[in-house]
Structure formats: C-alpha cells, structure tokens
C-alpha cells in the first residue's frame, strides 16, 4: 500500500540546496532546476510503489528512510542503508534504467521527499558540468559505504560491526544537524529497534540485544524503546577498533 501524498507546491531553491547534489550550484542554475522539483509526504507503515523509482528521482528533506532487501523463502532481511535529510535515491535506477529490488520504508512517523522526473535528472548530469561535479563524489561515497558494509559482514565480529554502525550514524546525524561533537554530552540515535540494528549488521535480534545489554550494564549506553543514547563515546570507538580522527 502506498500513502504518498503530493504537496501542491514546488520546492524552493533553499530546499533543493539541502541535497549535496545541488548545494554548491550557481544561483542562476539552482533557480532554473528548482522549478522541476515537487514535495511529497510519505507516512510510516506504507511502501512506495517500485514503479515510481523508474520515473522519479528522490532525496529526503525531513525524517529517515530505510532501504532493505529480503529473502522471500527464509524471511530474512538486511538493511542496505538508512537515508537522512539530503540523501538521494534511487541512484542505481538512475544509472542503469532498470528496476531495483529494494524495499523502502520510512523510519520516522512521516517523511517529506523532494522529487524530480528521473529523465530530467539524467539530462542535468550530462548537460551541466556543475551537476556532474557534485554527482560523481556523492556516487563514490555511496559505493564506499556499500563496500564497507560488505567487508564488515565478513571481516568483523558482531561487537565491532555494531560499534562501527553506531559511529557511522552519529556522524551522519552530526552532518545534517550541523552539531559538533562538543555541543552535547551524549549522542542520540532515534528510531532503531533491536531488530533493525540486527538487519543493519547482518545478525539476529537476540545477539544484538545481548550486546546492547552488556554495554548498558557497563554504563556505555542507555536504551529506551527505539532510542539509543551513547554515554561513553570513547568506549564505542575502542570497541570499533578505530581512531576518532578517522571518522571526521
């Protein structure tokens, strides 16, 4: 079922600039392309029609969106990515024009998307060097993220994978909120259930819950429903076996 509602107005240049694909474009160009973007509201608990991904290119304006795949024979699911404000999808379909076998689901109670016809987005990439210069680094960043995800499943144990996942999302939250590490004493991740965390690290809920309970007993985290509060960030970095400087 789809509960996507088209907001009856186009996106402003300020909204379009929220995407890293368009943030650095010249003012004249951003004004020209902004008129083609439209706002969409999407409620949690519903799924987007996969056919929409063949005709529209999106980025998130507000809220969080989970991208996952499942095995219909076993029921197992894996989370491929969690998108935050400014993140775009579906880049795979944008590049090859083929259907993408993914499930998209809002994490927040509702999210707002910004959309543009996918053919228009392709035209901009080939026509405007300024758009292409923003698109290629973003594409490389997403490829590296998927490479890190695949290698982490093979090379690291559950403690390291979970620690690195937490650090990755703290960094993403800081990036889109603009809050520096020193601005708050604790670090908060909302909307991630134990089951979702398990999908993200290639494990099962019971194993993830056991690790979280251990960290909680050590005072490293506090967990309330789907709210994860990191009290001791240094301990998480230690568990992840990485230096804080490498995450900047």
Burial group, residue 70, by CB count within 10 angstroms (0-12, 13-18, 19+): middle
Q: Between the CA of residue 123 and those of 120, 138, 141, what are the distances in Å?
A: 5, 17, 22
Best CA proximity match to 166, nearest among 247, 67, 97, 85: 247
Please say if the pLDDT value at position 2 is more than 60. Answer: no
Query: Coil, strand, or helix at residue 45?
Result: coil
Architecture of the domain made up of 4-141: Sandwich (2.60)
| Contact call for residues 30 and 13 (beta carbons, < 8 A) | yes
Please say if the pLDDT value at position 1 is more than 60. Answer: no
pLDDT at 159: 93
Q: Where in the chain is the domain with CATH 2.60.120.10?
A: 4-141
Please identify which residue in the block is written with the tokens 């680094």: 137
Best CA proximity match to 14, nearest among 71, 67, 74, 86: 86
The Cα 32–Cα 21 span in angstroms is: 15
Among 5-19, 64-78, 213-227, 228-242, the least confident range: 5-19
Q: Where in the chain is the domain with CATH 1.10.10.10?
A: 156-247
Of 95-99, 121-125, 165-169, 182-186, give the range with the top mean pLDDT: 121-125
Averaged pLDDT score across all residues of the chain = 85
Among 91-100, 147-156, 166-175, 234-243, the least confident range: 166-175
Q: Topology of domain 156-247, per CATH?
A: Arc Repressor Mutant, subunit A (1.10.10)
pLDDT per position as a tens digit, 170-211: 887 776 555 554 444 456 677 788 899 999 898 899 999 999
pTM above 0.85, yes or no: no
């Amino acid at each position: 079922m789809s509960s996507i509602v088209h907001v009856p107005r186009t996106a402003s240049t300020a909204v379009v600039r929220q995407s890293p694909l368009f943030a650095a474009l010249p003012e004249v160009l951003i004004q020209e392309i902004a008129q083609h973007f439209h706002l969409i509201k999407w409620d949690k608990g519903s799924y987007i029609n996969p056919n929409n991904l063949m005709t529209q290119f999106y980025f998130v304006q507000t809220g969080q969106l989970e991208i996952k795949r499942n095995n219909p024979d076993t029921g197992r699911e894996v989370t491929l990515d969690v998108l935050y404000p400014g993140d775009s999808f579906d880049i795979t379909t944008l590049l090859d024009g083929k259907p993408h076998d993914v499930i998209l689901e809002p994490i927040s109670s509702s999210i707002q998307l910004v959309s543009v016809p996918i053919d228009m987005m392709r035209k901009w990439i080939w026509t405007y060097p300024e758009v292409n210069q923003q698109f290629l680094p973003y594409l490389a960043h997403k490829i590296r993220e998927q490479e890190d995800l695949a290698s982490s499943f093979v090379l690291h144990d559950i403690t390291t994978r979970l620690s690195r996942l937490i650090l990755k999302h703290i960094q993403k939250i800081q990036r889109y909120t603009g809050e520096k590490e020193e601005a708050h004493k604790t670090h908060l991740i909302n909307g991630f259930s134990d089951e979702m965390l398990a999908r993200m690290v290639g494990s099962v809920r019971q194993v993830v819950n056991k690790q979280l309970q251990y960290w909680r007993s050590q005072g490293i985290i506090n967990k309330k429903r789907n709210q994860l509060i990191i009290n001791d960030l240094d301990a998480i970095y230690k568990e992840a076996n990485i230096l804080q400087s490498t995450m900047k």
